[in-house]
């Protein structure tokens, strides 16, 4: 089970009424699975509120029902309240930090929200998610929302096959966008039998105790307060950071530097063939 904060500037009511959260690009919600916990953050000049906890009931899908006025956000997940939806103000996090004598973790959550409100989704660590759940349970006010009917249009599952067909990878060897590439890789990292998974494992095996099946996988994980990486593969011995770049394969590859405290990979391109997929990457340290 993972924890996430889904962000919006003004559409919290629409999200809660339809039990649905949307994003403009395929990658933002791709790593969220059924059973994960989502908190909804509405941050604007009028209010800074947090709602939840919400348990994910449907993985990423594509749906064109009009939920958000004059907006698209057709890549969506669905969720259900855990017991009831509760609401707190952002300042409640700081107050709870003072009362619990644990200010740093709540200040970190506040900074994540404030400095990344432009993102669709923020990945949380287990300790951050548990801290946020504790505040909502302890001092959250019940939020009454108007439950709408279920989505009426087609709910098309978004998976590796969907991204493959969307980008017509059987006809061309490139992805139409970096977000689709990231989404495709996230789904591949959930599929041990696929060639991409094996390609990642080969890259990781350059370093000891770096097995993919014993690692946690994040996308758009935020380092510090405002520096999301494309893909993060984390285990007890290694931090593997993958940055996706669309680069001509004939250009000079990134230079390799000796590993120090973390592994950073630049995925230059992916070659799609009829029978296999090969991942080309250089590892560098910054």
Q: Residues 8-23: pLDDT tens digits?
A: 989 999 999 999 999 9
Other beta carbons less than 10 A from residue 251's beta carbon: 9
CA distance 163 to 160: 5
Spatial distance between the Cα atoms of 3 and 105, rounded to a whole number of angstroms: 15
Say if residue 174's pLDDT is above 80: no
Segments making up each domain of the chain, as ranges: 3-156, 159-284
pLDDT band at 273 (very low <50, low <70, confident <90, very high): very low
Note if the bond before 53 is cis, omega within 30 degrees.
yes
Average pLDDT over residues 154-183: 88
Least confident of 165-174, 186-195, 207-216: 165-174
If you average pLDDT over residues 89-110, what whole number do you get?
Answer: 92
Q: What is the mean pLDDT of the chain?
A: 84
pLDDT greater at residue 260 or residue 219: 219
> Quick check: 42 pLDDT over 90?
yes
Candidates 247, 120, 128; CA nearest to 183 is: 120
When pLDDT is cut at 50, 70 and 90, the band that residue 247 belongs to is low
The pTM of this model reads 0.85
Assign a CATH topology to domain 3-156. Answer: ph1033 like fold (3.10.590)
CA dihedral of residues 154, 73, 269, 266 (deg, nearest 10): -140
pLDDT at 266: 58
């Amino acid at each position: 089970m993972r924890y996430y904060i889904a962000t919006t500037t003004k559409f919290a009511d629409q999200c809660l009424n339809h039990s649905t959260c949307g994003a403009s690009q395929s990658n933002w919600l791709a790593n969220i699975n059924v059973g994960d916990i989502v908190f909804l953050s509405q941050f604007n000049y009028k209010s800074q509120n947090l709602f939840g906890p919400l348990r994910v009931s449907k993985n990423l899908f594509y749906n064109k029902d009009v939920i958000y006025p004059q907006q698209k956000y057709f890549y969506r997940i669905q969720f259900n309240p855990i017991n009831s939806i509760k609401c707190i103000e952002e300042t409640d996090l700081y107050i709870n930090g003072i009362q619990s004598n644990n200010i740093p973790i709540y200040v970190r959550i506040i900074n994540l929200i404030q400095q990344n409100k432009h993102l669709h989704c923020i990945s949380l660590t287990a300790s951050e998610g548990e801290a946020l759940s504790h505040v909502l349970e302890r001092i959250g006010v019940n939020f009454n929302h108007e439950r709408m009917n279920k989505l009426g249009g087609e709910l098309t599952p978004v998976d590796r096959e969907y991204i493959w067909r969307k980008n017509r990878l059987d006809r061309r060897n490139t992805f139409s966008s970096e977000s689709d590439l990231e989404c495709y890789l996230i789904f591949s990292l959930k599929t041990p039998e696929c060639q991409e998974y094996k390609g990642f494992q080969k890259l990781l095996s350059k370093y000891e105790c770096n097995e993919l099946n014993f690692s946690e996988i994040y996308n758009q994980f935020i380092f510090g307060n405002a520096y999301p990486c494309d893909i993060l593969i984390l285990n007890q011995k290694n931090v593997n950071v993958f940055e996706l770049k669309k680069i001509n394969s004939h250009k000079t590859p990134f230079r390799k530097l000796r590993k120090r405290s973390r592994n950073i990979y630049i995925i230059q391109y992916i070659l799609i063939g009829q029978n296999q997929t090969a991942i080309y990457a250089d590892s560098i340290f910054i």
